[in-house]
C-alpha cells in the first residue's frame, strides 16, 4: 500500500493538515499500539458500551459546574450536541478499526472544540476524567483478574493518547492558520505615501520587506511620483528590521527608476547594524543619497527643492 | 479562453498561438504590439506587460539584425493554477558561436553591442536558448502571471 | 518622417510615439542633429510620454541623439518616462546607458532646466 500518498478528498481534514497513513502508522508504532492491544480492547468493548453514557453525563456535569467552562456552552442545544458526539466518540475507542475514517472523525471532533474556543486544558481534562472513571469500572468488573483489567486499561490509554495527539494537532493547526491569515493581512497593508510639501513625498516603511512588499512599494512610489509630480521622495526604513542583499538591490533599482522619472530618492533610517550588514554583503549603496535619520533627510530634501526655513521674527516664540 | 484569430499582414493564428513573421523593423513594432495585446488577456500587471514587450522587442530585433528573417510564436501556457505567456523566437540565421559569451552581462560598461540576451533572461522567469553555427537560433522564454 | 519636431524658441521638441520603428528613430536622430545646426537650438526635448516600451535600441539611440546634439551646442532632456517603463529599463540595466542625460517627468520641468542652463551660459558668455 502506498503509505505516504496524501489522503484524498474523502478525508478532508487529514488532507488539509497533511496527516498521512504513514504518519499514523508511525505514531502507533511509537505508542507501541498494535494488534494485541486491539484484541484487548475488543475484549472490553461490551463493558465499555455500558459505561460510556453515564461517564460522559458525569463529565459534563463536572465541567459545567465551572463558570469558566459554562461560557463556552451558551445553550442547551449545543451541550446536547456535544454530549452526543462525545458519547459516540468514547464508545468508538473500543470498537476497533482504527483506520482513516477513525482518524478523520477524531480530527473533526478536535476541530469543533477548537472552533468554539474551548481551552486546550479543558479539552484534555476530559480525557483524564474519562480514564479515571473507566479505570474504576475496569477494576470493579475484573476484580478477580486485576491483571486483565490493567492490560485492558493500558491498551485503552494507548488509543486515548493517540487521540490526544490528534486533538492537539487540530488546535495547533488552527492557531497556525490564524497566524498565516494575519500575516497575509499584514502583507497586504500598503505603505502610506505622504505628501508633505509640493513635490516632496515621504514613504515610512514598517515591517519586513520581502519581495512581494518590495515590489508593491516600488510600484506605489513610482506611480506616486508620476501623479504628484514629486521631485524628491524620502524612503524611511527605520521600521524595517532586516535589509538583505535582495531587498537592497530592490531599493537600488527603485532609486534608479525614480531617477529616470526625474526624482531623487533619499533613504533615511538605515540602522548601524543594517549599514554594516550591507557593507559586509558587498552591496554598493553609493549611488543612493542616505541620511542618518528622517529629520536630516527632510532637511536635505528641502535643500534640494530650494526651500529655506527661517523662523518668523527671527526667534522661536515663547511656549 | 482562446486567443482571437487574427487575419492581418504576416500573422497567422492557430488555436492558442500567434505566429509573427519577422523580416523588417516594422515587424518588430507589430510583434511587440501583438505580444502586449495577447499578454494583457492573461491579467499581467502593467509592469509585467512592459517587461514582456521589452523582452520581445529585443528578441525580434536580434532576428532582424543577425538572421534577417525568422518568426516569433506567442502562446499561453498553464501549469496547475499558474498562467504564463511564452515567447519563442526562431531563426535560421548564422547561429551563435559562443552562447556562454553571448549570455555574459556586458551592460555595466554600457555602449556595447550585445544581443540583449542576458537582460532578457533577467526580465523573464524562464529562459532557454539553443543555437549552433550555421543552423540558427531558438529562444524560448516564459513569464508567469504573479 | 514619422516623429514630429516642433520648434519652441531656441528649443526643439520631438515627440516619440510607440509605433516608431528603428529606421524612424534613426531618421529622427539625423533630423534633430541637422535642425539643431539650422536653428542654433540650445536645447532638444525628447518627449517619450507615450512610449510604452523602451528597449536597448531606443535607449541607445536617445543617448546618441543626446551626444550628437551636445556636440552641436544643444542640451538634450528626456521627458516623461513612465513608471513601468522606468522599472523595466532599470531591470535591463538600460538606465546606466542614459547616465549623464537629464531626465524629467514633464515638459514644464524640462523647460525650467533648459532655461536655467541657458541663463548660466549667457552669464558666463
Taking residues C61-86, what's their average pLDDT? Answer: 96
Say if residues C104 and C110 touch (Cβ distance below 8 Å): yes
Higher-confidence residue of A208 and A155: namely A155
pLDDT at residue C60 in the model: 93
Taking residues A119-134, what's their average pLDDT? Answer: 86
pLDDT at residue B4 in the model: 38
Say if residues C76 and C109 touch (Cβ distance below 8 Å): no
Chain C residues near residue B54 by CB distance under 8 angstroms:
53-55, 88, 92
Which residues of C, range 54-83, sit inside 8 Å of B by Cβ? 54-57, 60, 82-83
Chain C residues near residue A265 by CB distance under 8 angstroms:
none
CA distances from A21 to A2, A8, A179 (A): 9, 11, 27
pLDDT tens-digit readout, C96-107: 889 889 999 999
Nearest chain C residue to B53 by CA distance is: C53
C84-94 per-residue burial string, b: 16 or more CB within 10 A, e: under 16: bbbbbbbbbbb
Measured in angstroms, the CA of A183 and the nearest CA of chain C are apart by 28
Q: Do C92 and B122 touch (CB under 8 A)?
A: yes
What does chain C look like in DSSP terms, one character per residue?
--S-EEEETTEEEEE--TT--HHHHHHHHHHHHHHHHHHT-SEEEEE-TT-S---HHHHHHHHHHHHHHHHTT-EEEEE---HHHHHHHHHHTGGGGGTTSEEESSHHHHHHHHHHHHHHHHHH-
DSSP B146: -
Q: Which of C28, C56, C58 to mutate to test the interface with B (most CBs of B within 10 A)?
A: C56
Nearest chain A residue to C98 by CA distance is: A260
Nearest chain C residue to A256 by CA distance is: C90
What are A60-68's contacts with CB under 8 Å, separation 24+?
Answer: A60/A86, A62/A129, A63/A122, A63/A125, A63/A126, A68/A122
What are A295's three cell numbers? 529629520
Please give the angle made by the CA atoms of C97, C40 and C72, to the nearest 5 degrees: 35
Nearest chain A residue to C106 by CA distance is: A229
Output the CA torsion C93→C94→C96→C102 (10° steps): -150
Taking residues A184-191, what's their average pLDDT? Answer: 76
Class of domain A12-187: mainly alpha
First to last CA, chain C: 36
Taking residues B18-31, what's their average pLDDT? Answer: 91
Per-residue confidence band for A314, with pLDDT thresholds at 50, 70 and 90: low
Residues forming a β-bridge with B11 = B8, B20
Per-residue confidence band for A58, with pLDDT thresholds at 50, 70 and 90: very high
Residues forming a β-bridge with A224 = none
Of the partner residues C86, C106, C109, the one whose CB lies closest to the CB of residue A260: C86
The number of beta carbons lying within 10 Å of the beta carbon of residue A110 is 23
Cβ contacts of C108 within 8 Å, gap of 6 or more: none
ipTM given for this complex: 0.92
Range from A139-143, B111-115, C121-125 that averages highest in pLDDT: A139-143
Of the partner residues A223, A229, A262, the one whose CB lies closest to the CB of residue C103: A262
Chain C residues near residue A256 by CB distance under 8 angstroms:
90, 95
Nearest chain C residue to B28 by CA distance is: C21
What are B44's three cell numbers? 499581467
Contact of C2 with chain B, judged by CB distance below 8 Å, is answered with no
pLDDT at residue B145 in the model: 92
Cross-sheet strand order for the sheet of B70-79? B11-14, B17-22, B70-79, B82-91, B136-144, B126-132
The number of beta carbons lying within 10 Å of the beta carbon of residue A300 is 18
The SS3 of residue B100 is helix
**CATH architecture of the domain covering A194-305:** 2-Layer Sandwich (3.30)
Of the partner residues C86, C91, C95, the one whose CB lies closest to the CB of residue A222: C86
The SS3 of residue B90 is strand
Residue C20 predicted with pLDDT over 90: yes
pLDDT tens-digit readout, C25-56: 999 999 999 999 999 999 999 999 999 999 98
Q: Where are the domains of chain A?
A: 12-187, 194-305
pLDDT at residue C24 in the model: 95
Taking residues A294-318, what's their average pLDDT? Answer: 80
pLDDT tens-digit readout, B59-75: 999 899 888 889 999 99
Q: Which of C46, C48, C63, C83 to mutate to test the interface with A (most CBs of A within 10 A)?
A: C83
Residue B115 predicted with pLDDT over 70: no
pLDDT at residue B146 in the model: 84
Measured in angstroms, the CA of B88 and the nearest CA of chain C are apart by 18
pLDDT tens-digit readout, A233-273: 999 998 888 888 888 888 899 999 999 999 999 999 988 88
Backbone angles phi, psi at B84, to 5 degrees: -140, 165
The number of beta carbons lying within 10 Å of the beta carbon of residue C48 is 21
DSSP B65: I
What are B115-120's contacts with CB under 8 Å, separation 24+?
Answer: B115/B58, B115/B62, B115/B66, B116/B58, B116/B59, B116/B61, B116/B62, B116/C55, B116/C56, B116/C92, B117/B58, B117/B62, B119/B58, B119/C56, B119/C91, B119/C92, B119/C93, B119/C94, B120/B55, B120/B58, B120/B59, B120/C92
| Rounded CA separation B111/B94 (Å) | 24
Amino acid at each position: 500500500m502506498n503509505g505516504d500518498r496524501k489522503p484524498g478528498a474523502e478525508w478532508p481534514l487529514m488532507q488539509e493538515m497533511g496527516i498521512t497513513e504513514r504518519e499514523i502508522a508511525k505514531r502507533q508504532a511509537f505508542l507501541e499500539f498494535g494488534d494485541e492491544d486491539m484484541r484487548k480492547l475488543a475484549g472490553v468493548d461490551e463493558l465499555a458500551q455500558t459505561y460510556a453514557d453515564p461517564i460522559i453525563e458525569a463529565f459534563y456535569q463536572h465541567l459545567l459546574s465551572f463558570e469558566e467552562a459554562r461560557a463556552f456552552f451558551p445553550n442547551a442545544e449545543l451541550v446536547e450536541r456535544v454530549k452526543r458526539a462525545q458519547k459516540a466518540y468514547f464508545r468508538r475507542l473500543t470498537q476497533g478499526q482504527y483506520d482513516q475514517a477513525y482518524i478523520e472523525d477524531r480530527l473533526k471532533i478536535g476541530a469543533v472544540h477548537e472552533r468554539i474556543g474551548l481551552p486546550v486544558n479543558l479539552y484534555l481534562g476530559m480525557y483524564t476524567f474519562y480514564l479515571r472513571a473507566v479505570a474504576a469500572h475496569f477494576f470493579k468488573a475484573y476484580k478477580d483478574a486485576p491483571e486483565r483489567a490493567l492490560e485492558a486499561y493500558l491498551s485503552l490509554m494507548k488509543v486515548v493518547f493517540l487521540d490526544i495527539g490528534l486533538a492537539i494537532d487540530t488546535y495547533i493547526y488552527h492557531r497556525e492558520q490564524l497566524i498565516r491569515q494575519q500575516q497575509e493581512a499584514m502583507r497586504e497593508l500598503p505603505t502610506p505615501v505622504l505628501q508633505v510639501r509640493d513635490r516632496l513625498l515621504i514613504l515610512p516603511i514598517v515591517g519586513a520587506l520581502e519581495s512581494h512588499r518590495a515590489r508593491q512599494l516600488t510600484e506605489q512610489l513610482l506611480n506616486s511620483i508620476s501623479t504628484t509630480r514629486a521631485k524628491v521622495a524620502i524612503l524611511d526604513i527605520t521600521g524595517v528590521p532586516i535589509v538583505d542583499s535582495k531587498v537592497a538591490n530592490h531599493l537600488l533599482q527603485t532609486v534608479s527608476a525614480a531617477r529616470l522619472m526625474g526624482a531623487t530618492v533619499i533613504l533615511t533610517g538605515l540602522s548601524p547594524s543594517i549599514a554594516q550588514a550591507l557593507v559586509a554583503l558587498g552591496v554598493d549603496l553609493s549611488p543612493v543619497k542616505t541620511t542618518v535619520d528622517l529629520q536630516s533627510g527632510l532637511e536635505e530634501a528641502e535643500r534640494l527643492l530650494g526651500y529655506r526655513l527661517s523662523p518668523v521674527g527671527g526667534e522661536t516664540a515663547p511656549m | 479562453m482562446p486567443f482571437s484569430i487574427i487575419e492581418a499582414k504576416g500573422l497567422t493564428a492557430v488555436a492558442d498561438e500567434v505566429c509573427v513573421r519577422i523580416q523588417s523593423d516594422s515587424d518588430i513594432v507589430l510583434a511587440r504590439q501583438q505580444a502586449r495585446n495577447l499578454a494583457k488577456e492573461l491579467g499581467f500587471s502593467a509592469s509585467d506587460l512592459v517587461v514582456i514587450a521589452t523582452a520581445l522587442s529585443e528578441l525580434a530585433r536580434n532576428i532582424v539584425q543577425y538572421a534577417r528573417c525568422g518568426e516569433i510564436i506567442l502562446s499561453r501556457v498553464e501549469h496547475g493554477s499558474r498562467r504564463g505567456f511564452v515567447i519563442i523566437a526562431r531563426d535560421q540565421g548564422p547561429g551563435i558561436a559562443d552562447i556562454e559569451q553571448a549570455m555574459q552581462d556586458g551592460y555595466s560598461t554600457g555602449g556595447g553591442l550585445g544581443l540583449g540576451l542576458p537582460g532578457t533572461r533577467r526580465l523573464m522567469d524562464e529562459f532557454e536558448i539553443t543555437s549552433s553555427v550555421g543552423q540558427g537560433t531558438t529562444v524560448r522564454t516564459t513569464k508567469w502571471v504573479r | 518622417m514619422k516623429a514630429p519636431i516642433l520648434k519652441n524658441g531656441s528649443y526643439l521638441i520631438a515627440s516619440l510615439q510607440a509605433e516608431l520603428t528603428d529606421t524612424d528613430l534613426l531618421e529622427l536622430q539625423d533630423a534633430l542633429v541637422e535642425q539643431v545646426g539650422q536653428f542654433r537650438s540650445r536645447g532638444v526635448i525628447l518627449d517619450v510620454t507615450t512610449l510604452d516600451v523602451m528597449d536597448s535600441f531606443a535607449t541607445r539611440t536617445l543617448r546618441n541623439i543626446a551626444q550628437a546634439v551636445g556636440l552641436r551646442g544643444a542640451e538634450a532632456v528626456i521627458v516623461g518616462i513612465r513608471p513601468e517603463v522606468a522599472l523595466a529599463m532599470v531591470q535591463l540595466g538600460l538606465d546606466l546607458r542614459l547616465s549623464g542625460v537629464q531626465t524629467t517627468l514633464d515638459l514644464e520641468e524640462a523647460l525650467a532646466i533648459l532655461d536655467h542652463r541657458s541663463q548660466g551660459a549667457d552669464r558666463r558668455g
